[in-house]
Amino acid sequence: MEKLIDRFLRYVSVDTQSDEDSQSQPSTAKQLNLLKMLRDELEAMGVKAELDEYGYVMATVPANTEKKVPKIGFISHVDTAPDAPGDQIKPQIIENYDGGKILLKGTGAYLDPEVFPEMTKYKGQTLITTDGTTLLGADDKAGVAAIMNAVQYMREHPEFKHGEIKVGFTPDEEIGRGVVKFDVKKFGADYAYTMDGGEVGELECENFNAASAKIHIQGRNVHPGYAKGKMKNAIIIAQEFNAMLPVEQRPEYTEGYEGFYHIISFKGSVEEADFSYIIRDHDREKFEEKKKFIQTVADFINAKYGEGTCTATVKDQYYNMKEQVLPHWHIVEKAVKAMEEAGIKAKIQPIRGGTDGANLSFMGLPCPNIFAGGLNFHGRLEFVPLESIEKASEVIRNIIALFEAE
């Protein structure tokens, strides 16, 4: 078998950032470079795979058991977040990590356990970091590598009995469009798992309800020497809009089940300003209230500065999968047992984010989320312990074996 570390490093070397402003599917053509690679690798392993017009790779590992076994799917996304540079990635391999600070050689910054105490859990392991100039892409190429490693194991170990296994790789998860055109019926799984969580043991069957909000402020630019009573500075009005949202409901002040408003971009001049938010809450009622409040603030701005000053466009992205997964709780129990067999204590928790599995669950495919091993996603301080990806792949094999053993 190809070494897992070599597979992972090969995948992260491909720039696959998605683009929220693009209207194409997938949002960036460069994602297809990795998707084509994955399709070809699956075919080379003797697994029937196809890449469709929307950028979805779907593959079937045929059953090698006579038992009637549910068809189980494993899904990961190939795109990386647009929040930090994602090309020309130069990973650092830290073998036998000593528990101390790690220099990121591209910038001189450090990964510091005083800031990220969870690093000390991985003392003695092999850590893969960025060089500080880009993100790493463990979200979710660690999940991709774990799935592909499990597929290769099945193909090379015919004594490992399993039912029909479905494999899916998707684009555009990071911009909330990962499965908008995913054909669940064509995929053909009875149940599935996204391999898109963080540290070892994470198991998530509830997530945020999510929406995006794009705000446009139309100002009025007048020569500042003659501006009294005439100028409407869009930058100042945009600041006023943001200041009206509750400070305590920003991501840096929330945890657990608490939701938030998160401003993620701003571009403005005196004449006009555009900025955007993501809105999140586990509680559907509170989620709806947050969306309404965005419009309330927009209405206030228009009442104060004139109709047409502020335009707010709010769009739902995904919903809490909990209500869809609860009737099929045995798939969560399988994952818990699979982790126990791998020597892992499952941590069932709400994900303070979302996965393709949330939308898939509402599309009729119950789909909890399992760890892939990475930490500090979406930024230059991202890292992943190699042993965590190995454990994720082991959990996949254990889940498959548990369904076959029934």
Looking at the structure, tell me whether residues 250 and 364 fall in a common domain. no
Q: Which residues 6+ apart lie within 8 Å of 24 measured at CB?
A: none
Kindly state the tokens that stand for 138.
């463990």
Q: How far lies 78's CA from each of 31, 68, 138, 253, in Å? A: 7, 32, 10, 30
Looking at the structure, tell me whether residues 95 and 14 fall in a common domain. yes
Q: Which residues 6+ apart lie within 8 Å of 243 measured at CB?
A: none
Q: Burial, 78: exposed, middle or buried (Cβ in 10 Å; 0-12, 13-18, 19+)?
A: buried
Percent of the chain with pLDDT over 70: 100
Q: Burial, 120: exposed, middle or buried (Cβ in 10 Å; 0-12, 13-18, 19+)?
A: exposed
Looking at the structure, tell me whether residues 181 and 61 fall in a common domain. yes
CATH code of the domain in which 44 resides: 3.40.630.10
Helix (H/G/I), strand (E/B), else coil: 281: strand
Looking at the structure, tell me whether residues 193 and 220 fall in a common domain. no
Looking at the structure, tell me whether residues 76 and 150 fall in a common domain. yes
Q: Which residues 6+ apart lie within 8 Å of 201 measured at CB?
A: 339, 344, 345, 346, 347, 371
Domain count, the chain: 2
Looking at the structure, tell me whether residues 73 and 132 fall in a common domain. yes
Using N-to-C axis directions, what is the helix angle for 138-156 and 386-405, rounded to 10°?
A: 50
pLDDT tens, 85-134?
999 999 999 999 999 999 999 999 999 999 999 999 999 999 999 999 99
Element (H, E) at 246: none
Looking at the structure, tell me whether residues 70 and 141 fall in a common domain. yes
Question: Is it the case that residue 349 has pLDDT exceeding 90?
Answer: no
Looking at the structure, tell me whether residues 325 and 314 fall in a common domain. no
Question: Which of the 8 DSSP states describes residue 224?
Answer: G
Pairing of strands 202-204, 347-348: parallel
CATH code of the domain in which 221 resides: 3.30.70.360
Dihedral sign, Cα of residue 194, residue 144, residue 339, residue 61: positive
Question: Is it the case that residue 353 has pLDDT exceeding 90?
Answer: no
Tell me which of 173, 272, 356, 394 is the catalytic residue: 173
Supply the range of the domain harboring residue 287: 209-318
Strands (E), 234-362: 260-268, 272-281, 310-318, 347-348
Helix (H/G/I), strand (E/B), else coil: 32: helix
- Do residues 367 and 354 make contact, with C-beta atoms less than 8 angstroms apart? no
**Predicted pLDDT at 252:** 96
Whether 196 is catalytic: no
Chain mean pLDDT for the chain: 96
Taking the C-alpha atoms of residue 138 and residue 382, their distance in angstroms, rounded to an integer, is 8
Looking at the structure, tell me whether residues 49 and 168 fall in a common domain. yes
Looking at the structure, tell me whether residues 117 and 263 fall in a common domain. no
Q: Which residues 6+ apart lie within 8 Å of 323 measured at CB?
A: none
Task: Single out the residue in 265, 286, 318 at which a domain terminates.
Answer: 318
**Predicted pLDDT at 75:** 98
pLDDT band at 1 (very low <50, low <70, confident <90, very high): low
Taking the C-alpha atoms of residue 150 and residue 397, their distance in angstroms, rounded to an integer, is 6
Task: Single out the residue in 281, 298, 318 at which a domain terminates.
Answer: 318
Looking at the structure, tell me whether residues 13 and 44 fall in a common domain. yes
Instruction: Please state the pTM of the whole predicted model.
Output: 0.84
pLDDT tens, 168-225?
999 999 998 999 999 999 999 999 999 999 999 999 999 899 999 999 999 999 999 9
Whether 190 is catalytic: no
Tell me which of 79, 131, 206, 272 is the catalytic residue: 79
**Predicted pLDDT at 54:** 97
Task: Single out the residue in 318, 350, 385 at which a domain terminates.
Answer: 318
pLDDT band at 368 (very low <50, low <70, confident <90, very high): very high
Question: Is it the case that residue 15 has pLDDT exceeding 80?
Answer: yes
Looking at the structure, tell me whether residues 226 and 202 fall in a common domain. no
pLDDT tens, 47-97?
999 999 999 999 999 999 999 999 999 999 999 999 999 999 999 999 999
In the chain the first and final C-alpha atoms are separated, in Å, by 28
Taking the C-alpha atoms of residue 35 and residue 43, their distance in angstroms, rounded to an integer, is 12
